[in-house]
Amino acid sequence: MNGTVQPGATLGVMGGGQLGRMFVHAAQTLGYFTVVLDPDVSSPAGLVAHHHIQADYLDEQGLAQLMQRSAAITTEFENVPSAALVTLQAHRPVAPGAQAVAICQDRALEKAHFRRCGVPCAPHAVIETPEQLAAVDAELLPGLLKTARLGYDGKGQVAVTTPQDLAAAWEQLGRVPCVLEQRLDLAFEVSVIVARNAQGEVVHYPVQRNLHREGILAVTTVPAPDVSPELQAQAIGAAEHLAASMHYVGVLCVEFFVLRDGRLLANEMAPRPHNSGHYTLDACDVSQFELQVRTMTGLPLVAPRQHSAAVMLNLLGELWFDAQGREREPAWAEVLALPGVHLHLYGKLAARPGRKMGHLTVTAASAAQADEVARRCAERLGIARW
């Protein structure tokens, strides 16, 4: 990227989900115009952007319109076809670039990249053919079979215990390329968000501790409890090394497993702002979405500072239904009466179980206070305890 894209220009984003919506808000706050390409007429980002191009991600006319309107382009989710990014980056600055996104959207390529970079990850095997299936080391069982591509929030994953389970699971997943990961003795999971610009400057947020339920993030706590300074430094160093190795420009999240024996293993990367970083909107002086804007435009990259302890709760679609399955509105007034509560709803028109409808962040002067209020919020909304 040569030069700086100044406020007043138009920034484009591939994808119209909630991450795109929060990017659009950040860009508009800094004085940019925005354009979203997304096929959904009621996409959350499209509803708040200055322009919405309703087109498929590989639609030639849609991509041409995005290029014509945009001074620089980003993406809000990793499953945007890398071929579309290749087309775009031939004409406009695109951050992150197609090569980095291609690595992050394929578990097999991602695991290979971890190994090349010397970042430990779970023992695994790539399964693309019946011969590779037959050759799987029994030491990898029990394990988790994951589709190599298009998996997120627990989708495209099957737990397996025996070789027979594995064969049946591969059939169930349509015999698409998969990665089998050995099931590990986890203590908990953490993530690190870094931002890197075209000059190679990099900044990071604190390590975040994450609780997942059925493969979907439920709770993020920052500062991360029970994570030693040494482990935090190891996670941040690994994330920064991975970003540099891909010549990455943008916001990158790296998720890690912390094993009961204290080891840190890389799980996966997200080439975009991440659900576990939503607390930065309320607990930091610069959010992950502002850093996304800064990295793609060449604006100064400043180290974010966390000014409040925070707990973030995901708000999934089941909260909009009572025990009998009847639609209802969650008890917003009850949680907004509590101190330090910040509600973010994504403007999605229909709720369904498992769908991310919004998030709620609790900020406080101490981690204990944030956790106490977050638990009261969870009780009032019907979110399971942790």
Share of the chain above pLDDT 90, in %: 95
Percent of the chain at pLDDT above 70?
Answer: 98
Residue with tokens 């080391």: 137
CB atoms within 10 A of CB 325: 8
For residue 194, name the pLDDT band (cuts at 50, 70, 90): very high
| Confidence band of 212 (pLDDT split at 50, 70, 90) | very high
Query: 357 is written with which tokens?
Result: 């409808």
Average pLDDT over residues 299-326: 96
Q: Is the pLDDT of residue 153 over 80?
A: no
Q: Is the pLDDT of residue 152 over 80?
A: no
Residue 18 is encoded by which pair of tokens? 């909630």
Mean pLDDT of the chain: 96
CATH of 186-381, one of 3.30.470.20, 2.20.28.270, 3.30.200.20, 3.40.1620.10: 3.30.470.20
> Which pair of tokens denotes residue 32?
């940019």
Numbered ranges of CATH 3.30.1490.20 in the chain: 123-182
Residue 156, pLDDT score: 83
pLDDT band at 79, cuts 50/70/90? confident
CB 175 within 8 A of CB 206: no
pLDDT reading at 1 higher than 60: no
Contact 316, 354 (CB under 8 A): yes
Q: Looking at the DSSP assignment, which residues form a beta bridge with residue 190?
A: 209, 256
CATH number of this structure's domain 123-182: 3.30.1490.20
Q: What is the DSSP letter of 205?
A: P
C-alpha span between 291 and 275 (Å, rounded): 15
Contact 279, 312 (CB under 8 A): yes
Say which amino acid occupies 349.
L
Q: Which amino acid is at 179?
A: V
Strands (E), 108-156: 124-127, 143-147
**Cβ(63)–Cβ(47) under 8 Å?**
no
Query: Tokens in use for 57?
Result: 């991600």
Per-residue pLDDT, 36: 98
- Which residues, including other chains, have CB under 8 Å from residue 284's CB and lie 6 or more apart? 205, 304, 305, 306, 307
Enumerate long-range contacts of 27-34, CB under 8 Å, 24 or more apart. 27/293, 29/290, 30/290, 30/293, 30/299, 31/7, 32/7, 32/8, 32/293, 32/297, 33/8, 33/9, 34/10
CATH architecture, domain 10-94: 3-Layer(aba) Sandwich (3.40)
pLDDT of residue 78: 80
3-state class percentages of the chain: helix first, strand second, coil last, to nearest 5: 30, 30, 40
What local confidence, expressed as pLDDT, does residue 28 receive? Answer: 98
The segment(s) of the chain belonging to CATH 3.30.470.20 are 186-381
Helical H segments across the chain, by residue range: 18-29, 60-69, 82-89, 98-104, 107-116, 130-134, 163-172, 229-245, 280-283, 288-297, 332-336, 367-381
Rounded to the nearest 5°, which phi and psi values hold at 289? -75, -35
